[in-house]
Amino acid sequence: MANKLIIKEETKQEKYESLYIQLKSLTQDEPDLIANLSNCTSVIKSFFGFYWIGFYLVKKDQLVLGPFQGTVACTRIQKGKGVCGTSWLNKETIIVDDVDQFPGHIACSSESKSEIVVPIIIGNEVIAVLDIDHDQYSTFDSTDKNGLEKIADLTSTWF
């Protein structure tokens, strides 16, 4: 009888668990913030192939573009503006199924259709946000939210 090769596909949650472990080991001996944020965008991109992924860092009263993977993006976002600025203001993760339906959405690319923004919080202060765009509608769910919030907690230790 021929041997059957059974390949079990990883669930999204399992992928987030592997991603977290890989990211932790990749960054544990490196004290530089920009180096770690940069590798973080690369690892997330290689696991999920998102259209755009990057960090915006709080600098005074604005978010300023940090390490990212993808097409050219807007460099500064005001508090309360767009998905990123709203996540900063409300100190919560925002999932957008259709970016055209989000009031005040800031379009950096017409390819972007759905988005998730996760705040990175130290104490009670947002110090950065993690922004991810997908080129299809309705792609982010509670598994992404939980997985990315855990990654955001890890990134907060690099600041």
Shortest separation between residue 133's beta carbon and ligand SME, angstroms: 5
Q: By C-beta, is 31 or 103 nearer to ligand SME?
A: 103
Shortest separation between residue 29's beta carbon and ligand SME, angstroms: 30
Shortest separation between residue 116's beta carbon and ligand SME, angstroms: 10
Look at residue 3 and give its three-state secondary structure.
coil
For residue 101, the number of C-alpha atoms closer than 13 Å in the C-beta half-sphere is: 9
- Answer yes or no whether residue 131 interacts with ligand SME by CB under 6 A: yes
Answer for the pair 65, 56: CB distance below 8 angstroms, yes or no: yes
CA nearest 48: which of 11, 83, 77, 93? 11
SS3 per residue for 47-114 = HHCCCEEEEEEEECCEEEEEEEECCCCCCEEECCCHHHHHHHHHCCCEEECCHHHCCCCCCCCCCCCE
Q: By C-beta, is 11 or 49 nearer to ligand SME?
A: 49
Shortest separation between residue 19's beta carbon and ligand SME, angstroms: 20
- Answer yes or no whether residue 112 interacts with ligand SME by CB under 6 A: yes
∠ at Cα 138 (92, 104), nearest 5°?
Answer: 55
Candidates 37, 43, 44, 108; binder of ligand SME (CB under 6 A) is 108
Applying CB under 6 A, the site for ligand SME has a residue count of 15
- Answer yes or no whether residue 144 interacts with ligand SME by CB under 6 A: no
**H/E stretch holding 15:** helix 12-27
Q: What mask, x for binding ligand SME by CB under 6 A, covers residues 47 to 86?
A: -----x--------------------xx--x----xxxx-
Footprint on this chain of ligand SME (rule: CB under 6 A): 52, 73-74, 77, 82-85, 105-106, 108, 112, 115, 131, 133
